[in-house]
Amino acid sequence: PDAAGERRERYGANELPRAARAGLGRQALAQLTDLFAVVLLLASAITFLTYWLSEPRDAGRLQLAVAILCVVALNAVIGFTQEYSAERTAESLQAMVPHTCRVLRDGRRQEVPARDLVPGDVVALEAGDAVPADCRLVEAHELSVNNAALTGESDPVRRDSAPMAVPGPLTDARNCLFMGTDVVAGAGKAVVFATGAATEFGRIYRLTASASRQRTPLQLQVAAMARRVAGTALAIGALLFAVRLPGDDTVEAFVFALGVMVALVPEGLPATLSVSLAIGVRRMARRNALVKRLLAVEALGSTTVILTDKTGTLTQAEMTVTRVWADGALHPVSGVGYAPEGEVADPGPRVRELLRVAALCCDAKLVPPGGDGGRDGPGSGGGPGGHHGTWRVLGDTTEGALLVAAAKAGIDPHAEEAASPRVAEHPFDPGRKLMSTVHRAPGGGFLVHAKGAPQELLARCTHIDRDGGARPLTEESRAAVVAVNDELAAQGLRVLAVAVRRAEGPGGDRDAAESGLTLLGLTGMLDPPRAEVSEAVDACRRAGIRIVMATGDHPLTAEAVARRVGIVRGREPVVVTGKRLDTLDDAALDELMAGGPELLLCRVSPEHKTRAVTALRRRGEVVAVTGDGANDAPALKHADIGVAMGASGTDVAREAAVMVLLDDSFASIATAVRLGRSVYQNIRRFLVYVFSSNIGELGPIVAATFTGFPLVPISAVQILAIDLGSDVLPALALGAEPPESDVMDRPPRARRERLFSMAVMRRILFLGGIQALGVTAVFFWHIHASGIPFADFTEEHPVYREAVTMVQAGIVLSQFFVGLAVRTDRQSLLRAGLFSNPWLLGAGGVGVALMACISYVPVLQEVFNTAPLAAADWAVLTGLGALPLAADELRKAWLRRRRPESGERGGRRAGPGPDPGRRRGPMRVIIAGCGRTGSALAAQLAAEGHDVRIIDPLPGARRLLPAGFSGAFHSGSGFSRTALEAAGIEHADAFVALTSGDNRNLVSARTAKETYRVPVVVARLHDPHRKELYRGFGIPTVAAIRWTVQQIHRTLLHRHLDPELAFGNGETLLVRSELPGYLTGRRLAEFDVDGEIRVVEVTRGGHSLVPAHNTAAEPSDVVTFAVAATALGTLRGFLGKELGT
């Protein structure tokens, strides 16, 4: 203990240093550093000074000074409250370090606080323990650890005590354990060599802490806008001060200029901006995306690159067996994850025997919801603690997948273990790539069960289980096994072989035990992608967002997953390993990041991810980084937007991120981007609204200055009442406008794009100018109608009070109509719907009611120096107030005539209009087959302005195309990828395969669909030259061709007709469609209807299968129906969608 104490003083406690956080007072004061706040504080201080120096003292100046202070305080309170409620302040990293641990001190085992560990301590570890510090194993018994919290990869890795050299990262050392990771199997003892901040975990912490929080694009834009507005206010105030000075005393001229400055500064803008962003935060929270910093809401909308992790982000981090090959047949396995829900197709005796042997040859445990697997241990694959409300695996995830598959086949591993107890084992050996166990057979004797890499296990087999018995393993059957293995591996599956043999006893040499085996079959498994990821990836692609995968996994595995979810579609993505990144300087790294759109970073460390983020940001990209492990934290902090997984993510990742996905759904990112883009557009809308009001307030003041009127037409207190009382609620209602329908079909805006663009400025001057002219005319008309000279007016004169009341009321009413005008950019308000935003109407009504109170309530009359208005005055002001809306409607009509567009971005469609499913703009369509049907379709599409490319192996087929055909003809086979890429398949919008059933265009269609992710239409035709087309229907061949062209054309031009369609001979059609969610779980046999509708094929997880009688539908199944033409209406109603007929 004394030695331990000395070392504790030397090395410090085994805990991570707490990050310094600003106190509440400092956070509150930070709200006052905003430039608008500084200008207003300065104005308030000067107003106080003029109040104290003037004799007699003017109470109005005191009211103005207090009012300005209240404005600043209100903005500060709103900003502080929103930030404080969104930002977590807990030090979450400490939660990942265990509180106690078992150590060997003074020759005995004792339990001590983990913070008291010192280098040199020997800790005892077993399954379920969290590693308390970095340590080296001195004794290990079948010990495996889950390094997900450190590396991001959830597969358990075996550790032993053998000395070894470590040429790569220390985390690759097989004899070392690291703080924050978990022991999932076995036991051991290890000596501590690093504690606290000196650990690998501490290194990641330092990387995270050293990263300064990045300023979002909106922060930069608002800061620039504040500087310009403040500079403009000071310049105009100084100019008018100089103009007024000769006729007024200095104090009066100064107070007048101060009022001008107050009129130009949008006092309500900071509060409106904060609350509008908070509305965006709440909208995202309802969609399971928790944003911790308000300004990050808008930053999501400007994202240009998403750097995403693989395990747990794109995939479920749960290995799942999807294929079992036994007795010469391939059997699909339904269901995903660790829940034993699903079934093995046709689970005959040989399949059950394979899965029984595989389950007995496992050390892992399958733990039900609420269970602990025998101790309070972690789940597998998600970091410390696991998910105790779901099924989980304690041990190796690959073995867990085998246990789940066995359960789906009705096998109880516990009952089998009891019937065939294990008496010996040969643990997994990385060199041999297999493991084996010895069991007592129920009928006597012993059985060796083995599983491992197919190529290794196959070399030790002499027989194969076939036709109910062991048959000699011939070269032919060995080649068949290799072919199946290659086929499964090509699908991105991890393949394991399972074998068995009889043994004379439990002892003996391992080589002898693992030879002469009988191969039972193969299992193919994968870490399944999340169901919604592919759709989210497609949405991001449409939005012009580049997706880069960064993972610690093997390049082949990474590419397989990337292809499965749609990140990779081309033939040769750029795959870069961490070792190659180490050889690149910053210039070379920048060039790499600027490369092709399909980039995969594999075997990368936290430093590699951070370098990649930095390089992307140097190129001007707005980078969002997703991740769930502690290894992702530095990149999350350095990125513009860090996105952490909420359910499976580690606390350090959630702490470093600015957005947390509560449901771990990658699809929530696409939703957040959509909402973020909407927030930016809405901010522009209420900027036009707010600054139009400022122009309206400034106009009469400037007019009074140059006409020599001695008083201001609107006081600073009245301006504050407008900016904070009447304008804030409508501005917020504009901020609540829902996203536009095509917001995800636009490219991201540039990082340097100005919030105050010239178009925004022109619209502010247009609307504000009309408003200013109207209220200025009202003011001077009322003054002139009284016949009183300018010099006789005082602030208490009733005519003056009526005039300033009319100015204030005129601005309030005008702003009501301006709010309606700015809802759309080009579309008429009548088409967008006058009542489609009831919040705006209600907010405008509140503003008018508040103005009425200021005009009629005696107390408020004294505060704001107003007078009651007659009904005729309100009528005149309403008419003048509607002028901006009328003028803006004329402007929009002129824009529509000048640049006609189909639809309006700025508003929502109301009433009948174009078919929303119809594709807009020209498409690139590739047609494989230039026969009479193909040439007719190509001619029609080209005449409509589409980019048509035709592929046909016969150069003479070109003669079928009409003269003047504007498309391109490529001589080659659609089966050839070279021909497809020469035709530009990577950028195609649709691919049409025309086939008589005996050519290779069907293969080209599958290639276009699965490799290049291009929507496909397949038309199965007979050769019209053999006069077999539509035989027996009594219609000419030309009419049949015309009908087929019509169906394909309609399919191409409508988005909701995107599923693959195959047109047959006019009597029977093949229809391919994704099943709606409400059919999930139904047996596919139920879909057969009176012989008129029949299921012929199911595509599940990218793989085709012929459904058995009891096969159940799963989410995202794509089913091919053979349907009689007379039953299309029945199928349409069954699926709830159009089918292109």
309 is catalytic: yes
* DSSP, residue by residue, 271-305: HHHHHHHHHHHHHHHHTTEEESSTTHHHHHHT--E
Q: Which pLDDT belongs to residue 1107? A: 60
Of 375-384, 578-587, 834-843, 959-968, give the range with the top mean pLDDT.
578-587
Q: Is the pLDDT of residue 240 over 60?
A: yes
> For residues 386, 390, 395 and 398, what is the CA-based torsion angle, rounded to 10 degrees?
-120
**Residue 404 included in any domain:** yes
Could you give the C-alpha distances from 1045 to 371, 953, 1140, in angstroms and in order?
60, 21, 12
Q: Is the pLDDT of residue 270 over 80?
A: no
**Residue 903 included in any domain:** no
Greater pLDDT, 426 or 403? 403
Last-in-domain residue among 509, 526, 543 = 526
Residues 401 and 480 in one domain: yes
Residues 931 and 1044 in one domain: yes
Distance CA 1092, CA 796 (A): 89
Last-in-domain residue among 168, 194, 210 = 210
Last-in-domain residue among 526, 557, 578 = 526
Q: Is the pLDDT of residue 936 over 60?
A: yes
CATH number at residue 157: 2.70.150.10
Q: Which pLDDT belongs to residue 86? A: 46
Lowest mean pLDDT among 43-52, 881-890, 1036-1045: 1036-1045
Structure tokens, 843: 């907010």
Look up residue 978 and give its amino acid.
Answer: T
CATH number at residue 375: 3.40.1110.10
Q: Is the pLDDT of residue 1027 over 50?
A: no
Residues 132 and 65 in one domain: no
Average pLDDT over residues 232-241: 82
As a residue count, the chain comes to: 1141
Q: Is the pLDDT of residue 13 over 80?
A: yes
Sequence-separated (6 or more) residues with CB below 8 Å from residue 220: none
The radius of gyration computed from the CA coordinates of the chain, to the nearest angstrom, equals 37
**Residue 1001 included in any domain:** yes
Q: b vs e for 954-980, b when ≥16 Cβ sit within 10 Å of the residue's Cβ?
A: eeebeebbeeebebbbbbbbbbbeebb
Residues 309 and 332 in one domain: no
Greater pLDDT, 226 or 189? 189
* Three-state secondary structure readout of 1064-1123: CCCCEEEEEEECCHHHCCCEHHHHCECCCEEEEEEEECCEEECCCCCCECCCCCEEEEEE
The answer to whether 173 touches 194, Cβ cutoff 8 Å, is no
pLDDT digits (tens, 9 = 90+) for 71-89: 777 767 766 665 555 444 3
Greater pLDDT, 914 or 40? 40
**Residue 6 included in any domain:** no
Averaged confidence pLDDT in the chain:
78
Q: Which of 407, 460, 474, 417 is nearest to 440 (CA)?
A: 417
**Residue 88 included in any domain:** no
CATH number at residue 1009: 3.40.50.720
pLDDT digits (tens, 9 = 90+) for 521-578: 999 998 888 878 888 888 888 888 899 998 877 677 788 888 888 898 877 788 898 8
Q: Is the pLDDT of residue 977 over 90?
A: no
The answer to whether 515 touches 460, Cβ cutoff 8 Å, is yes
Instruction: Label residue 983 by pLDDT band (50, 70, 90).
Output: confident
Lowest mean pLDDT among 151-165, 238-252, 380-394, 405-419: 380-394
Q: Which pLDDT belongs to residue 897? A: 77
Among 155, 309, 363, 947, the active-site one is 309
Instruction: Label residue 409 by pLDDT band (50, 70, 90).
Output: very high
Residues 326 and 402 in one domain: yes
Could you give the C-alpha distances from 891 to 163, 604, 763, 822, 883, in angstroms and in order?
80, 55, 10, 12, 12
Distance CA 501, CA 503 (A): 6
Strand 305-308 versus strand 546-550 pairing type: parallel
Distance CA 1054, CA 923 (A): 12
**DSSP helix/strand/coil, 998:** coil
Q: Is the pLDDT of residue 769 over 60?
A: yes
Distance CA 696, CA 68 (A): 20
- Between CA 278 and CA 284, with CA 280 as vertex, the angle to 5 degrees is 115
**DSSP helix/strand/coil, 124:** strand
- Sheet containing strand 305-308, edge to edge, reads 289-291, 659-661, 641-645, 623-627, 305-308, 546-550, 599-602, 574-577
pLDDT digits (tens, 9 = 90+) for 684-736: 888 899 889 989 988 998 898 888 888 889 887 888 788 777 887 888 788 77
pLDDT digits (tens, 9 = 90+) for 600-622: 998 887 778 889 999 999 888 88
Structure tokens, 97: 């370090």
Region for 367 from its dihedrals, namely left if φ exceeds 0, alpha if ψ lies in -120 to 50, beta otherwise: beta
**Residue 846 included in any domain:** yes
Q: What percent of the chain has pLDDT over 70?
A: 75
**Residue 186 included in any domain:** yes
Distance CA 573, CA 159 (A): 34
CATH number at residue 735: 1.20.1110.10
Average pLDDT over residues 806-815: 96
Residues 1112 and 1060 in one domain: yes
Q: Is the pLDDT of residue 260 over 80?
A: no
Q: Which domain holds residue 142?
A: 99-210
Residues 412 and 267 in one domain: no
Look up residue 519 and give its amino acid.
Answer: L
Q: Is the pLDDT of residue 1109 over 60?
A: no
Q: Which pLDDT belongs to residue 91? A: 41
Residues 267 and 373 in one domain: no
Residues 728 and 859 in one domain: yes
Q: Which pLDDT belongs to residue 1139? A: 42
Region for 552 from its dihedrals, namely left if φ exceeds 0, alpha if ψ lies in -120 to 50, beta otherwise: alpha
β-sheet bridge partners, residue 625 = 307, 642
Distance CA 366, CA 401 (A): 9
User: Which residue carries 């967008």 as its tokens?
Assistant: 832
Average pLDDT over residues 1120-1127: 66
Q: Which pLDDT belongs to residue 655? A: 73
Lowest mean pLDDT among 172-176, 312-316, 888-892, 995-999: 995-999
Sequence-separated (6 or more) residues with CB below 8 Å from residue 285: 291, 662
Distance CA 724, CA 722 (A): 6
Instruction: Label residue 934 by pLDDT band (50, 70, 90).
Output: confident
Residues 649 and 722 in one domain: no
Q: What percent of the chain has pLDDT over 90?
A: 23
Q: Is the pLDDT of residue 134 over 90?
A: yes
Q: Is the pLDDT of residue 381 over 80?
A: no
**Residue 914 included in any domain:** no
Please state the domain count of the chain: 5
Residues 970 and 1040 in one domain: yes
Contacts 24+ apart (CB under 8 A), 1089-1092: 1089/1127, 1089/1130, 1089/1131, 1089/1134, 1090/1127, 1092/1123, 1092/1124, 1092/1126, 1092/1127, 1092/1130
Q: Which pLDDT belongs to residue 531? A: 77
Residues 505 and 428 in one domain: yes
Q: pTM value?
A: 0.58
Distance CA 722, CA 716 (A): 10
Name the phi and psi angles at 509, rounded to 5: -70, 145
Q: Is the pLDDT of residue 126 over 90?
A: no
Q: Is the pLDDT of residue 1089 over 50?
A: yes
Distance CA 1066, CA 1043 (A): 9
Could you give the C-alpha distances from 871 to 639, 875, 877, in angstroms and in order?
58, 6, 10
Lowest mean pLDDT among 141-155, 498-512, 521-535: 141-155
| Cβ atoms within 10 Å of 486's Cβ, excluding its own | 12
